[in-house]
Chains A and B, each alone.
Chain A
Amino acid sequence: MAEPEGLLDIDNLSVSFRTPRGDLQALRNVSLKMGKGEIVGVIGESGCGKSTLINSIIGLLPANTCALSGHIRFAGEDIVGMADRDLRRLRGERITTIFQDPMTALNPVLSIGTQMTAIQYRRNSSPREKQRRTVEFLEKVRMPDAEKRLGQYPHQFSGGMRQRICIAMALLTEPDLLIADEPTTALDATLEVQVIRLLRELQRDIGCSVLFISHHLGAVAELCERVAIMYAGEVVEQGSVRDIFRDPRHPYTRKLLECDPGRILELRAVMPTIGGDLPDLVHIPKGCIFRERCPDRFERCSERPPVETIRAGHRAACHKARELANP
């Protein structure tokens, strides 16, 4: 699948954090491209660097970040090394983020209306007009009695409603890029489906690109066109949803898909897992990062694997990428 006109181009991004044990290399040589209007999923288990990736894109890395290299080009401008002022101009204007836990994402002492009006501070419109837009977007996310509820506080809404408020807030800014950081993880299954449908519908409406971070394979398959698989701070495989789910080439992707409860057909007493633990990111082992846990490892795995292109847009970082085809 050809990559459409670029909006976000992450090129060889590496990020390290200073810790008492030494520098923790949270992201290493991550490259990922996103086109305009495209929905890209990023899948990975906890600690694989998903949040660091988001924080790098929105320029909100923690204070103990000690090394940042590579490029994040957003609409032609490099975010890496950009002044705080310019970064802040991008945030909430061209790049907006929805976070994981809707229960804590909203300010508890400010009313919904206040918070949703506050984020429109860049618009040169009257408070009345801002409020009208707020109501309009709350209605778009199907908030009943939107106008009456403007004066209410976050604790008066349920989790699903709060996440819809967050989505409405994000869309109010009409971003070019919407980053959804596990927006459905804290919600129960029925709400999850609702939120994903809503996201897709609104994405069509506004035409923004969406970077959808999740560890829920089904949600990614449902929503995204392309997907990147992350493991221990590296993108190990990326490609179209179809390629990744039907013909995964990296052993980690293959194990991950085996573990997806949605794809397990027969009844089992024990759910499959990937044995072993994440490698220590302070003392990175040489060679392939997945080697210790890989069922297909062989002697060459002690060398760093090349990124093999399987087909247009489908790449995997494994020595055996060409061999590991599904029958």
Chain B
Amino acid sequence: MLAYALKRTGLAVIITAISLILLISMIQFIPGDPAAVLLGPLASPEMRELFKQQMGLDQPAIIQIARFFGRVLTGDLGTDVLTNRSVLITVVEQLPYTLALIATSIGWSALLGIPLGCFAAVYRGSLADRIVGVLSVSSIALPSFVVAVYGLLLFSVRLGWFPTIGAGDTGAPLDQLYHLVLPSLAVGLGWVGYLARMVRASMLEVLSENHIRLARAFGLQERTITYQYALKIAIIPTIVILGMGVGNMISSAVFAEIVFARPGVGRLIFDAISTRNYPVVMGAVMITTGFYVLCTLAADLIAAGLDPRVRSAL
């Protein structure tokens, strides 16, 4: 296991480095002169030249990329053009809000979706299975921004059960959780159906395998067979998908954070793009990239912990 973990972590570091270099290189392809954009149309050519020299924009592309990468490695993601603050600090300040949103969304959808999938697989073909199936597909089909907008209209505006905007008072966890209910409903709902379908499919596959028949032939209890013998295998592909899904959730979080006027990385990126605050966009995208790599790494390590075959494969 340790050997696998080390190899997989090494791989994650390489992946992060490559994706960072790609991201940095992309700056070179952004159309327009950054100096003109940042200094505005009234700036004189001399000012632009000076700015380019200060920012190192007069250097060849490869040197710019290498410098940028070097700075990123030391934790310097540049300076917010509008506030002159460190981008790293700006992003890290916003990160907990997004992490909380993603964690609650994935948490409730996994807690509901995985047992639903098991249930549907065990009672395959029953009425309950069909109901779960229809609800799952409907929940997958609903885009999260639609859920967000209608959830807001119904539960906050009309019924007044939940707050409409913000993330709650700092230092009041219950209030923050209360503010998370609707956004995490919007972000997580599609995942409930998705997880239920995935778990059902892989459970059905595992339950039809020979070793399950052997376990039954030995008179093991159905509960033991379902949760210890079958689910432990069936959950593995789901965990791997969850790892990638958590990364992808950042994009759903953008919608939720805008609709519910919550702080967070998604909103930060959105605002930064609207104000052409490129260093912040870059920094935020880098951090979310790193987060994505971390999530897939964690998922793969959990999967390896569950499946001895994976451990000896890499």
Q: Does B84 contact A (CB under 8 A)?
A: no
CA distance A96 to B219 in the complex (A): 9
Residue of A91, A109, A119 near B233 (CB, 8 A) is: A109
Residue of A92, A105, A110, A173 near B210 (CB, 8 A) is: A105
Looking across the interface, which residue of chain B has its beta carbon closest to that of A172?
B218
A118 touches B224 (CB 8 A): yes
**Closest Cβ–Cβ distance, residue B56 to chain A (whole Å):** 53
A155 touches B309 (CB 8 A): yes
Q: Does A166 contact B (CB under 8 A)?
A: yes
Residue of A63, A96, A111 near B218 (CB, 8 A) is: A96
Q: Does B232 contact A (CB under 8 A)?
A: yes
CA distance A70 to B125 in the complex (A): 29
Q: Does B4 contact A (CB under 8 A)?
A: no
| Interface residues of B, dominant DSSP | helix
A118 touches B307 (CB 8 A): no
Residue of A91, A106, A169 near B219 (CB, 8 A) is: A91
Q: Does A121 contact B (CB under 8 A)?
A: yes
Residue of B209, B218, B307 near A169 (CB, 8 A) is: B218
**Closest Cβ–Cβ distance, residue B306 to chain A (whole Å):** 6
Residue of A58, A93, A107, A155 near B215 (CB, 8 A) is: A107
Chain A: interface residue count, which band?
A: 20 to 34
Contacts of A99 in B (CB 8 A): 210, 213-214, 217
Residue of A88, A97, A173 near B214 (CB, 8 A) is: A97
Residues of B at the A interface (CB closer than 8 Å) are 125, 209-211, 213-221, 224, 228-229, 232-233, 236, 306-309, 312
Residues of A at the B interface (CB closer than 8 Å) are 58, 60, 63, 88-93, 96-97, 99, 101, 104-111, 118-119, 121-122, 153, 155-156, 166, 169, 173
Given A96-B217, A122-B219, A153-B308, 15 further pairs, Cβ under 8 A? A88-B221, A91-B216, A91-B218, A91-B219, A101-B210, A104-B210, A105-B210, A105-B214, A108-B211, A108-B233, A108-B308, A109-B233, A119-B220, A121-B220, A173-B218
